Amino acid sequence: MNEQVLVTGGAGFLGSNLCRNLLECGYDVLCVDNFYTGSKKNLLDILDNPFFEILRHDITFPLYVEVDHIYNLACPASPIHYQFDPVQTTKTSVHGAINMLGLAKRVKAKIFQASTSEVYGDPEIHPQMEEYWGHTNPIGVRACYDEGKRCAETLFFDYYRQHHLDIKVARIFNTYGPNMAMNDGRVISNFIIQALTNSPITLYGEGSQTRSFCYVDDMIQAFIKFMQVDSGPGPINLGNPQEITIKELSDLIIDITGSKSKITNKPLPQDDPIQRQPNIDLAKNILEWSPITSLEVGLEKTIHYFDALLKSEKTGL
């Protein structure tokens, strides 16, 4: 019998890509999602797979299933979505973690927590390494996500110490690729949609702030490898250390798409980090993992995905 894997948030961007890869690895996969930001469209190609199930459920409520592994990915991850209902965002991170940890304790499952680089806040050290405790605003507009994820990490490590639970905590840096939502408000999806429609490209500030972008295929391989190896609980940074300014990113997307879009500048959002770059030495040493997809190649694949999506919407297919 195949090992049973639960993926919460399995219809979202990362979750749907993870479900697909887990099936390819020979696991039975149970996808749980309340479809707040996830979509069944992300799973159309695997819905008929006999080793795949999908369950509509909100993890702020207890879940009773029998599984061997849990990947806890459920939580809106883009500012537009997590700030729309900040109380629910915090509940998803905190109550959701309590419920999934309780399930893991009951069935003795190994459990993975999709944490985030946002636990570092607007960092005072660069690049960010796992030993850094962060620089966050606990009462700002982003706190529902940042502090929710920080509290979830606290719960995971308390269950690890108190109940000897087998946990894995990954701090995920900016990730992009197919199955991103067009309206999620994240910079790569925003720029690509604007470029493909020849609309003005929205640049916040002067675009001098930096980010580091990891292609989704590389990220998912890191998730699975982290769960498979005996590497301890983490936390571990997962991301691509190649740093780029947002202005350079906009220029690159305009160049690849051949867009006629012009740049329009708007004020920086509150608490928007100025720099974001992972130190992935731990992932290299423990997981023997580092990203292999260049930004140019990853962007070309992502642009192709969004271009097909826009064309299908126009034709109504």
Using DSSP's 3-state secondary structure scheme, residue 191 falls into helix
Contact indicator for 196, 310 with CB cutoff of 8 Å: yes
For 130, the token pair is: 């796992």
Measure the CA–CA gap between 238 and 80, rounded to whole angstroms: 23
Q: Which of 36, 82, 120, 145 is catalytic?
A: 145
DSSP string, 11-27: TSHHHHHHHHHHHHTT-
How far is CA 274 from each of CA 212, 236, 246, 313, rounded to the nearest angstrom? Answer: 12, 22, 10, 35
Using DSSP's 3-state secondary structure scheme, residue 312 falls into helix
For 288, the token pair is: 């023997």
- Residue 2, number of CB atoms within 10 A of its CB: 13
Task: Look at residues 253, 256, 241, 233 and name the one whose alpha carbon lies nearest to residue 289.
Answer: 241
145 catalytic per annotation: yes
178 beta partners: none
Task: Give catalytic residue positions.
Answer: 145
